């Protein structure tokens, strides 16, 4: 009976430390540190021995200890206000990509449109001492946000909140509205209705851009707005209102793709054909707009540019290269698909 020999079928993950590697390689712990920090002044022979020992033991530098000791965290926090929105997810992909290129990890705070939850998530991110924050269309009001992240490197995407310390990246709403409306006007449309995204800052900006672009085109009189939010249901509801009111609008400028798709669903179910009877224009060019069954004409926001620029701006602040606030607006692009067509002559 040897009670020590238990059936240890499942190996326990024994944490391997620098000391373990040093011991096995027959060198000091600090030398191992030097090797893993790519320092010079290490003989090729020693380096090889250390790397070999590390490999044999399955050693991996402990990010926690490393961050703690160096006082430099290579992790960026991303606060997402709505992870179910495909547009934001794509945004995250770009961010993650750009961050990785810069040698940073990304920690997400995936919100579900709740202010309270956002507060918690921000706390978590700050608790992890992330090097900087990227806020994607946050819901918390600016004053509170300003207080929470005071002095923290931050970039806000898609929502300008005039944070002293936060840079701002967005798409040029006015250009977007012009692109979309000119396209519709070129197709002969004049009476155009906008289904808004609600009372959030970005939604209001988009609505104003719509109204202004209509004015520029001399169509201020035939512009109409139906209030909604950024969901499919808002699109459905607005479409019902349009049908009920027997309005003479021939085109819809939706506040985003989801809204557009919701409207189209109701329109087609009611016998109103898209684009034969009504043209529909979305915003974001998210993945659903590209589905063949939907094939929605949409305004594309340059996500890749957003991602790259955000990370760049953030790193400038993290590295202390800049102290002044920067706002960047990128130009959106019109992607024409099959939901917009020449206005029917009646």
Partner DNA sequence: GCGAAGCATTAGCGCGCGCTAATGGGCCCA
Partner DNA sequence: TGGGCCCATTAGCGCGCGCTAATGCTTCGC
- By three-state DSSP, how is residue 82 classified? strand
Of 11-19, 93-101, 224-232, 270-278, which segment contacts DNA by CB under 7 A? 11-19
Largest CA distance in the chain: 97
Which of 58, 59, 38, 56 has the alpha carbon at shortest distance from 47?
A: 38
Contact with DNA (CB under 7 A): which of 51, 66, 124, 268?
66
Interacting residue with a second copy among 30, 68, 115, 336 (CB under 8 A): 68
Cα 121 to its chain centre, rounded Å, is 16
Residue 124 CB, shortest distance to a second copy, in Å, is 6
CB of 48 to a second copy, least distance (A): 21
Residue 116 in contact with a second copy, rule: CB under 8 A: no
The SS3 call for residue 279 is strand
311 contacts: CB under 8 Å, gap ≥ 6: 76, 95, 98, 99, 102, 104, 134
Q: From the list DNA, a second copy, none, which binds 36 (C-beta under 5 to 8 Å, kind-based)?
A: DNA
**Token pair listed for 151:** 């002095």
Backbone angles phi, psi at 142, to 5 degrees: -55, -45
Closest distance between DNA and the C-beta of residue 321, in Å?
A: 18
Q: Tell me the per-residue interface mask from 282 to 301 with a second copy, x by CB under 8 A, - otherwise.
A: -----xx--xxxxx------
> To 5 degrees, how large is the angle CA 57–CA 60–CA 62?
130
Q: How far apart are CA 21 and CA 15, in angstroms?
A: 11
Q: Which does 40 bind (CB under 5 to 8 A by kind): DNA, a second copy, none?
A: DNA
Q: Where are the alpha helices (DSSP H) in the chain?
A: 18-25, 29-36, 44-57, 63-70, 86-101, 115-127, 142-148, 173-186, 201-216, 232-244, 257-269, 303-318
Q: Which is nearer to a second copy, 90 or 137 (CB)?
A: 90
| Contact pattern from residue 25 through residue 44 relative to DNA, giving x for each residue in contact according to CB under 7 A and a dash for the rest | --xxxxx-xx-xx--xxxx-
Please report whether residue 302 would count as binding a second copy according to CB under 8 A.
no
Interface residues with a second copy (CB under 8 A)?
A: 9-15, 58, 60-65, 67-68, 71, 73, 83-84, 86, 89-90, 92-93, 96, 105-108, 110, 112, 123-124, 126-129, 150-153, 164-165, 232, 236, 261-262, 264-266, 268-269, 287-288, 291-295, 323
Interface residues with DNA (CB under 7 A)?
A: 15, 17-19, 27-31, 33-34, 36-37, 40-43, 45-46, 59, 61-62, 65-66, 68-72
């Amino acid at each position: 009976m040897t009670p020590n020999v238990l059936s240890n079928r499942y190996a326990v993950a024994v944490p391997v430390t620098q000391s373990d590697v040093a011991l096995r390689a027959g060198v000091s712990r600090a030398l191992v540190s030097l090797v893993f920090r790519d320092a010079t002044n290490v003989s090729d022979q020693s380096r090889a021995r250390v790397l070999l020992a590390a490999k044999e033991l399955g050693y991996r530098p402990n990010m926690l200890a490393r961050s703690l000791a160096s006082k430099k965290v290579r992790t960026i926090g991303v606060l997402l206000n709505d992870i179910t929105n495909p547009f934001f997810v794509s945004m995250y992909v770009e961010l993650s990509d750009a961050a990785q290129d810069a040698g940073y990890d990304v920690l997400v705070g995936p919100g579900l449109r709740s202010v309270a939850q956002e507060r918690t998530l921000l706390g978590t991110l700050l608790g992890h001492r992330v090097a900087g924050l990227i806020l994607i269309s946050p819901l918390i009001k600016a004053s509170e946000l300003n207080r929470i992240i005071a002095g923290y490197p931050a970039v806000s995407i898609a929502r300008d909140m005039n944070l002293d310390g936060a840079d701002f990246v967005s798409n040029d709403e006015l250009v977007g509205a012009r692109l979309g409306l000119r396209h519709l006007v070129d197709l002969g449309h004049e009476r155009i209705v906008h289904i808004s995204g609600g009372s959030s800052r970005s939604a209001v900006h988009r609505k104003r851009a719509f109204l202004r672009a209509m004015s520029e085109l001399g169509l201020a009189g035939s512009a109409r707005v139906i209030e909604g939010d950024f969901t499919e249901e808002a699109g459905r509801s607005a479409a019902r209102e349009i049908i009920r009111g027997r309005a003479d609008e021939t085109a819809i400028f939706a506040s985003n793709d989801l809204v557009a798709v919701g409207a189209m669903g109701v329109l087609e179910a009611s016998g109103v054909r898209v684009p034969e009877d009504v043209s529909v224009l979305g915003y974001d060019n998210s993945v659903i707009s590209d589905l063949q069954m939907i094939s929605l004409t949409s305004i594309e926001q340059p996500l890749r540019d957003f991602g790259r620029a955000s990370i760049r701006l953030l790193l400038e602040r993290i590295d202390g290269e800049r102290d002044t606030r920067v706002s960047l607006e990128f130009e959106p692009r019109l992607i024409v698909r099959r939901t917009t067509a020449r206005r029917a002559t009646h």
